[in-house]
Amino acid sequence: MVLLDGALIPTERRAGLPVKRRWSAKYKRHGLLVIALTDVRGRLLWTSTARSARGSEITACRQDDLVGRLRAAGLAAIVGLGFVGLDDTGPAVITGYKKPKGKKLTPAKKLVNQLIAAERAVCEHAFAHLKNWRVLTKLRLDVKRATRLVRALMILTQHEIAR
């Protein structure tokens, strides 16, 4: 069992590039989108390539074929409501329930959402540890170098937490 989540790493706008290139309309700021897998203890296991913030998390997962990779490894991932519809064919991705428009969720579905949110809190903490590195806030690199930096910081974060 792994936890899957995406996060926007806020960055500064790179000079000379169009303003909207790394602009996230969801968060109203510039940044890079990173998808990560963590275990249930909160250790970062894998990070995707850094992408422009204008894309969505579910699109990034589809481009990386995460569902196929999870199935090949025999794993299931617990994800948030932003990933509903990522895996319609099997139990590789476990999501909660969205509230239907104009209706309420049943108590059983609310309980399922609470249990999933409690499990996912560990993943949010892992991302918070990764975002604590100040070098990421001053980042103006291209995406390839940013990916290397994020993966190096992932290893350093694991080392810091293990101490």
Task: Report the 3 state secondary structure along 76-96.
Answer: CEECCHHHCCCCCCCCCEECC
Q: Cα(108)–Cα(103) distance, rounded to whole angstroms?
A: 15
pTM of the predicted model over 0.85: no
Task: Report pLDDT digits (tens) over 98-153.
Answer: 999 999 999 999 999 999 999 999 998 888 888 888 787 777 766 778 888 888 98
pLDDT value for 113:
94
Q: Worst-scoring range by mean pLDDT, 29-33, 65-69, 137-141, 142-146? A: 137-141
Q: What percent of the chain has pLDDT over 90?
A: 26
Question: Which position has the higher pLDDT, 41 or 55?
Answer: 41
